[in-house]
Amino acid sequence: MGKELHAVLLYNRKRELLDFLFGDELGFDDQDFLTYINSTITLVLNKIADKFKEGSFGMGTYDTDDFRYIFCEAGPDNILISILDSTTIVENTLAYVYIVAEKVARIFDGRPVSPVIPKLDFTKNEEVVQRKLDVLQRIQFHSSDYVYKLILGGDGAVGKTSMIHRYIEGFFKTDYKATIGTYISKKECKFDNLGSTVRFVIWDLAGQEQFKQMRHIYLPNSEAGIIVYDITRRDTFENVMEWYQDFKKYAPVDIIIILVGNKTDLEAARQVSTQEGKKLADDLGLHFIETSAKSGENVDESFEIIALQIIKRFVEAVEVYKLITKRIPENVEVDQKQSILRAGGMEEIEKISLDFACKEENVTCEEWLEKNLHYLNDTLNLSLSPVETWKNDLHTPRYIITMDKYGNRVLIVPILGRGEEFNLNALITALASQEAKIAILISEVENSNLEKAIIWLNNNTREDVFLYYLMLEIFKIPNFAPLLKFSKISGPPMGLKRIKKFQEPLSEKEKLRVDFWNYLVEKLKKMYPEHSNIEILKNSWIFKPTGKDGLYYAYIIQDDFYAVEIYFGNINPEINNKRFEELKSFKKNIEERFSEISWHLSEELEWNFEKNRNFQSIRYRFRDAGLSNKKKWNEIQFNLIDTMKCLVSSSEPYIKKLSI
């Protein structure tokens, strides 16, 4: 943690200080510092003792002007307190806090503990193809040069830790201790007959609900996963789908997953049949096996299935990716590539259309392009975030409306195979009606006339308007995500055009708001990257699209209060009303989840509905400060981000269920 971590303290549930460690550059005498922080710690410990007299509280944060405090349970009897700089990124720090808390709990239980704290990677997943190349350049199957990250997921007490202990140590422990956050161990899986060794770093994820918010930190960059349920507890089987969705959302797209039903030694208490487990695995396209960590039945086999799948996948992939990315020149046609691959005894690759790719994934072409927007950003070096999809009556294609990092509206126009028919007049009309600064035309068929027209328009339109013309190619490779490639055919003459952020002079109040939003976005880049590409406005609110047209997450700053909210702002008020009512039907679930993960907040969500109003909202409001309290901006912005995370986490599953 470096200079950001000032102190770590260990208390028991009786609020007695057991031990502490201070940083070298604290600037306080040890006793003076303990006195200084005592009132804050006592306040929070009293709140924990009062609200959580029994059971688990998980983790909570508390901010002051000087420090950020993280309170994390370290077993049933102890609380680990980390004191950090007020500007520290809490989300990243929590991953380390949970690992340390688990080690502390193990020490008190007399269990073996490794002193090593692994380095975590908080960057977003790399492009799948590049990640594959990095791995392929390092791997040799006859050696153990590469270590694979294997995640065990599943509800609490299904036997994940016991399975790992059985696999690594060879015996079963009867005393169950819940994992805190995650626990990490290592194991080699050898196949002498193949001359191969697969080395695993095994991450045992805590299954309890309070640790759910950390999954997105531990799952990235994992090569394999095992989802475990308890055959004697049907609820753990019913929650498999939620774990599977988290794996697919946060882990790399090509992660290998198997489904395991554990505790076959308790056959008399079985609630989930083998047939049910097999059917779910078949439906999800997973391997399935039942195990007993107690007897050892099939435990080694479950890990060997994963190891063999890794070997099979990478052996098949090595030559394919080398041929596509290294050995075959760019000007070789796909038919020639297939011939080269066939000559090498490899499976064929296939060039597919966007329409075919969309049908395979059961999405519209607009949804598919939005999902793969990062490829477009990489090609053009733009930071685009989707806003909505819009259809112009004068033109057939639907336009995807996005925002760049400067707040300019950008139209993405999938013209696909209709290059000869494309109507540039309709594009210009769309640019004007949407007040867009950039248009990106995407085609699967090169059109020289369209290219010439784009070049002419770029040279003869306003200096703050950009037009791009791109070619899209999609390659399908068996067992892998599609290989996606954008090629720029034509673009604006860079250096001759400039994007203007704001066209009109700002008032003093508007300048103050813009400054506030700029500082907030800088914090979002570190604390909540998913919201860092939000559009900066001169208004008292800024929006992050939810993925539903006209439905946004909003940050609000006024003179005397600040807030986060779900803003129902579709141009059709009836849609806003219906969406509000649908979400309200889940009000109890949303509020319970919000209360659970924001226990340090004192207010409740405000469900603001007025029948004859054009918009609706669900808001959490802070009334103790606002835009005029510039000295409190730092605190305000941290509160906005932390509370927005809670709002998104509690509402997002139900927003996805909206019928419109």
Q: Are residues 520 and 459 in the same domain?
A: no
pLDDT for the residue 557: 94
Q: What confidence score (pLDDT) does residue 320 get?
A: 47
What integer pLDDT is reported at residue 52 of this predicted model?
A: 63
Shared domain for 446 and 578, answered yes or no, is no
Say which range, 11-25, 235-249, 468-482, 550-564, has the weakest mean pLDDT: 468-482
Q: Are residues 445 and 408 in the same domain?
A: yes
Same domain, yes or no: 273 and 409: no
- DSSP per residue, 120-151: PP-SPPPPHHHHHHHHHHH--TTS---EEEEE
Q: What is the CA radius of gyration of the chain?
A: 27
Asked if residue 339 is part of any domain, the answer here is: no
* Range from 140-154, 454-468, 539-553, 586-600 carrying the lowest mean pLDDT: 140-154
Say if residue 273 is in the same domain as residue 405.
no
The residues pairing with 475 across neighbouring beta strands, listed in sequence order, are: 351, 483
Asked if residue 116 belongs to a domain, the reply is no
> Where does the pLDDT of residue 206 fall: very low under 50, low under 70, confident under 90, or very high at 90 and above?
confident
Query: Residue 84 pairs with which residues in a beta bridge?
Result: 5, 68
- Of the three residues 286, 313, 340, the one that is the final residue of a domain is 313
The terminus-to-terminus CA distance of the chain in angstroms comes to 45
The CATH number for 90's domain is 3.30.450.30
The residue assigned the tokens 């969309």 is: 358
Query: Residue 560 domain-assigned?
Result: yes
Residues 73 and 132 in one domain: no
Residue 533 within any structural domain of the chain: yes
Residues 441 and 539 grouped into a single domain? no
Strands 5-12 and 17-22: antiparallel
Three-state secondary structure of 341-378: HHHCCCCCCEEECHHHHHHHHCCCHHHHHHHCHHHHHH
Q: Which of 313, 339, 361 is the last residue of a domain?
A: 313
Q: Which domain holds residue 280?
A: 128-313
Asked whether residue 324 is assigned to any structural domain, the reply reads no
Domain shared by 519 and 622, yes or no: yes
Question: Residues 27, 172: one domain?
Answer: no
Determine contact, residues 607/572, Cβ cutoff 8 Å: no
Is residue 357 a part of any domain in this protein?
yes
Angle between helices 633-655 and 587-597 (to 10 degrees): 140
Q: Is the pTM for the entire model greater than 0.85?
A: no
The dihedral built from the CA positions of residue 554, 371, 212 and 155, taken in this order, carries a sign that is positive
CATH code of residue 563:
3.30.1460
* CA dist 263 → 166, 305, 402, 532 (Å): 13, 19, 50, 44
Lowest-confidence pick of 51-55, 345-349, 498-502 = 498-502
Q: Where is the domain boundary, 460, 490, 520?
A: 490
Residue 469 in domain:
yes
Comparing 349 with 584, the larger pLDDT belongs to 584
Number of domains comprising the chain: 4
Kindly state whether residues 633 and 544 are assigned to the same domain. yes
Q: Are residues 22 and 101 in the same domain?
A: yes
As given in the structure block, the two tokens for residue 370 are 């939005």
**Which residue pairs, CB below 8 angstroms and at least 24 apart, start in 121-125?**
121/220, 121/221, 122/92, 122/95, 122/217, 124/220, 124/529, 125/220, 125/221, 125/252
Q: What is the pLDDT of residue 446?
A: 80
- DSSP states along 86-127: TT--HHHHHHHHHHHHHHHHHHHHT-------PPPP-SPPPP
Q: What is the pLDDT of residue 249?
A: 86
The verdict on 442 and 589 lying in the same domain is no
Using CA atoms, how far apart are residues 547 and 535, in angstroms rounded to an integer?
15
Q: Is residue 169 part of a domain?
A: yes
CATH number reported for the structural domain that contains residue 156 in this entry? 3.40.50.300
